[in-house]
Structure 1
């Protein structure tokens, strides 16, 4: 009898989520806790892969570029911590400047240095930010569009991501800032926080919406200052 041919399933397309290692003397980083919780998840027919980045200028982009080569994702969302913010902040733009108020985990503190020498002044996120924001809000998760990712390692990663994707127009990418976890907020009295489980839910919604939304919706979400 002829042997049956085994049909190999085509691997599921991948989504890359990144979070950061602990910063300074913090015991953990909720950005990594949240994306790690989604590692291996299946969302809208896609497999989620999580990777952790260093809180370091330069090295974080080396790790991100290595992850892009390894995973070959169709969607990339980098996640970082923004203590003091009360909502999941979907970043609209990354700018080509490192201007560090404090040193990174390796002791580097660049001032007025371009992320990419000779690169464009800025890159816009390719994510459907407003559709993602509204989807999270409908689920009871506080979310906003942010007009500035700062000038620290998070902006460094956002700009570096979009620069890396410049020749891959079909790959969507962007950055989301999240608030302190309650555990970290306890070290900063008065600071707002969100449970990591809530952030995980928000990221799951963000990924699903990004995968299922072609053109972003047009609703006001800007600021006056």
Structure 2
């Protein structure tokens, strides 16, 4: 099994993005699966182009993207991506799409193809705060999750994919009062546990576990 794990570069004035920094700490083999790491730009559409080039090059079984979600308290596998770009801030090339469809011929939403509840359970068993997220936002993170699932739907039906958000790391919140953070090692530990769950649940689907949210 081969898993492509990508993480975004810094954006929004930050000097670091814990997403790719945590990806870099992952071992090259997790539960028997080969891990291929890739940094992608925080740029609408370009990020998807970079991923698809890598997919064509290495032919992974799983496409997993990691992104930063400042304000969250734990590692959060995303359940759904919606077909809209509505950028609160510009991306790293000053694109700021507002109320635009990502794909004109795409459905309103795609659900993750990953076992998100099994991933959360595995993360918690590793003592990493984690929960299922039901909104990936409307910035480049949601965009790339939607693009990956569209890509799989249209071109690579033998693959699975999805997205995980991670919190700020401590150095990012020094001047952000009351913002939660998690050490980079903890984030990477959570990602590793989530990947272990992906490997373990291969071909079995997800588990049925409480993971909903009131809001």
How far 1:169 moved relative to its partner? 3.2
2:181 maps to 193
How far 1:215 moved relative to its partner? 2.1
Q: Do the aligned partners of 2:12 and 2:89 also contact (CA within 8 Å) in 1?
A: no
1:59 maps to 46
Q: Do the aligned partners of 2:3 and 2:61 also contact (CA within 8 Å) in 1?
A: yes
1:90 maps to 77
Gaps of 5+ in 2: none
Match of 2:49, SS state, is helix
User: 2: CA distance between counterparts of 1:27 and 1:102?
Assistant: 16
Q: 1:5-30 deviations in whole A, cap 9, x for unaligned? A: xxxxxxxx321000011113322111
1:223 maps to 213
Matches within 5 A, 1:122-141: 122-141=109-128
How far 1:216 moved relative to its partner? 1.1
Match of 1:146, SS state, is coil
- If you compute each CA radius of gyration, which structure gives the higher value, 1 or 2? 1
User: 2: CA distance between counterparts of 1:187 and 1:36?
Assistant: 26
Alignment root-mean-square deviation, CA = 1.2
User: 1: CA distance between counterparts of 2:40 and 2:194?
Assistant: 20
User: 1: CA distance between counterparts of 2:175 and 2:44?
Assistant: 25
User: 1: CA distance between counterparts of 2:123 and 2:11?
Assistant: 27
2:4 maps to 16
* Number of equivalenced pairs: 212
How far 1:184 moved relative to its partner? 0.7
Gaps of 5+ in 1: 1-12
Structure 2 residue 173 is the aligned partner of structure 1 residue 171? no
Flag as ranges the 4+ runs of structure 1 deviating above 3 A: none
User: 2: CA distance between counterparts of 1:201 and 1:54?
Assistant: 23
Match of 2:21, SS state, is helix
Structure 2 residue 35 is the aligned partner of structure 1 residue 45? no
Aligned with 2:96 (options 106, 109, 116): 109
TM-score (norm 2): 0.95
Match of 2:6, SS state, is strand
1:206 maps to 194
How far 1:89 moved relative to its partner? 0.9
Q: Do the aligned partners of 2:76 and 2:131 also contact (CA within 8 Å) in 1?
A: yes
